[in-house]
């Protein structure tokens, strides 16, 4: 009896198209905070250098700086008297600053300037006799620091459900401020509820949610509905990275938050159209670009992906160094102006990302 060979068709892997969002990743405030620690380690010979709290909410950044000699502490009493301590990007309260002074610590302030702006608003409104309704996550370091500027005048509002529990003295002397890394959608829901409850409530003179948070969220809203999936690079304790994931899910696109390339699913669980999958790739403001590049290389090498970069907003932001660090540099003969911190769009090369990327402006992007 003649036997026939039986072949089993092997399904072809789907074509993968990775769409890199611009902007993504580090904002100028995060870049400044990380560079401050790096430059302190460059300029100062003593080790270790102490940092109060994680400099940013990303375990890879923290691990790299720890490898250079930074020690991260959650209690200033763990810092030996007279040593250097760097305050993180999320800011600290006046009580923490005073504690550092009493311990004779040399404090270098790496607080994001946009967080400092909210601190200044809290101080100003409290002096004017306003009660401050601070919209944000109660235990987030930024909220702890901001509320510490005027603790007697400040109440934290995490959700519309908190409004009924507020203790209001005079509803004509109310102002709301917000955590800089909130989702604009989430903040909007709470702010609208506050305005319904207290029609006379005052708004801050300018938007508290930072430009980088707003731009990255806007990019997700623009791109995610045109993709089959969204991959957000960031740590689970990064508020803004979590928000990006939630926004993608809210517009109806499957989304995952990954800390590194090893967390990328294989095989890819998403379905596309006609054998092709479009994946949006973005990163929270505290996620370094080398993690994004590693995920791009995996997409290219494992799935034969093509890369595109969709330009939604071009950022070009520059921040100055903290005054204490500038004085240290000057004493070492280093010109601080040569070390200013600037954040621009990252160039994409095949060596780093696995392929070159077609750049598409927002107005010309196709689904």
Tens digits of per-residue pLDDT, 148-163? 999 999 999 999 999 9
Q: What is the pLDDT of residue 8?
A: 40
pLDDT of 197 strictly over 50: yes
Domain 15-26+211-317+344-361: state its class: alpha beta
Mean pLDDT for 80-102 is: 95
* 337 classed as catalytic: no
CB 142 within 8 A of CB 88: no
Mean pLDDT for 212-223 is: 93
Mean pLDDT for 329-342 is: 85
pLDDT of 1 strictly over 90: no
Instruction: Please check whether the two domains, 15-26+211-317+344-361 and 30-111, share a CATH topology.
Output: no
pLDDT of 11 strictly over 60: no
pLDDT of 188 strictly over 80: yes
pLDDT of 274 strictly over 90: no
Catalytic residue among 2, 81, 98, 142: 142
Q: How confident is the model at residue 13 (pLDDT cuts 50, 70, 90)?
A: low
- Domain spans, the chain: 15-26+211-317+344-361, 30-111, 114-197
Q: How confident is the model at residue 14 (pLDDT cuts 50, 70, 90)?
A: low
Domain 114-197: state its class: alpha beta
Average pLDDT, the chain: 90
Q: What is the pLDDT of residue 4?
A: 42
Tens digits of per-residue pLDDT, 169-187? 999 999 999 999 888 888 9
By percentage, how much of the chain surpasses pLDDT 90?
69
Mean pLDDT for 280-287 is: 94
Fold of 30-111: Rossmann fold (3.40.50)
Tens digits of per-residue pLDDT, 27-55? 888 888 999 999 999 998 889 999 999 88
Which tops the pLDDT comparison, 211 or 225?
A: 225
């Amino acid at each position: 009896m003649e036997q026939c060979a039986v072949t089993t068709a092997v399904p072809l892997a789907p074509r993968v198209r990775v769409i890199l969002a611009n902007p993504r990743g580090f904002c100028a405030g995060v870049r400044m905070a990380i560079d401050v620690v790096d430059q302190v380690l460059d300029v100062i010979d003593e080790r270790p250098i102490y940092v109060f709290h994680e400099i940013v909410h990303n375990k890879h950044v923290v691990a790299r700086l720890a490898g250079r000699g930074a020690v991260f502490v959650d209690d200033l009493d763990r810092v030996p008297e007279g040593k250097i301590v760097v305050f993180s990007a999320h800011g600290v309260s006046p009580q923490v600053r005073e504690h550092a002074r009493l311990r004779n610590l040399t404090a270098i302030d790496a607080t994001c300037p946009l967080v400092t702006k909210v601190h200044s608003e809290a101080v100003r409104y409290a002096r004017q006799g306003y009660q401050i309704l601070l919209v944000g996550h109660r235990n987030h370091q930024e909220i702890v620091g901001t509320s510490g500027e005027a603790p007697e005048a400040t109440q934290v509002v995490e959700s519309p459900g908190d409004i009924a529990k507020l203790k209001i003295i005079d509803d004509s002397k109310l102002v709301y401020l917000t955590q800089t890394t909130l989702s604009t959608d989430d903040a909007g829901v709470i702010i609208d509820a506050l305005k319904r409850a207290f029609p006379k409530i005052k708004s801050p003179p300018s938007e508290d949610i930072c430009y980088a948070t707003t731009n990255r969220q806007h990019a997700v809203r623009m791109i995610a509905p045109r993709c089959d999936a969204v991959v957000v690079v960031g740590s689970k304790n990064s508020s803004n990275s979590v928000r990006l994931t939630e926004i993608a899910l809210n517009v109806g696109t499957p989304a995952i938050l990954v800390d590194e390339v090893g967390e990328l699913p294989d095989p890819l669980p998403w379905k596309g159209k006609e054998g092709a999958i479009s994946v949006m790739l973005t990163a929270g403001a505290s996620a370094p670009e080398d993690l994004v590049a590693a995920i791009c290389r995996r997409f290219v090498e494992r799935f034969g992906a093509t890369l595109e970069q969709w330009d939604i907003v071009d950022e070009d932001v520059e921040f100055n160094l903290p005054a204490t660090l500038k004085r240290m540099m000057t004493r070492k003969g280093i010109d601080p102006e040569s070390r200013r911190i600037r954040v621009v769009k990252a160039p994409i090369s095949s060596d780093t990302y696995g392929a070159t990327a077609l750049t598409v402006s927002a107005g010309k992007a196709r689904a």
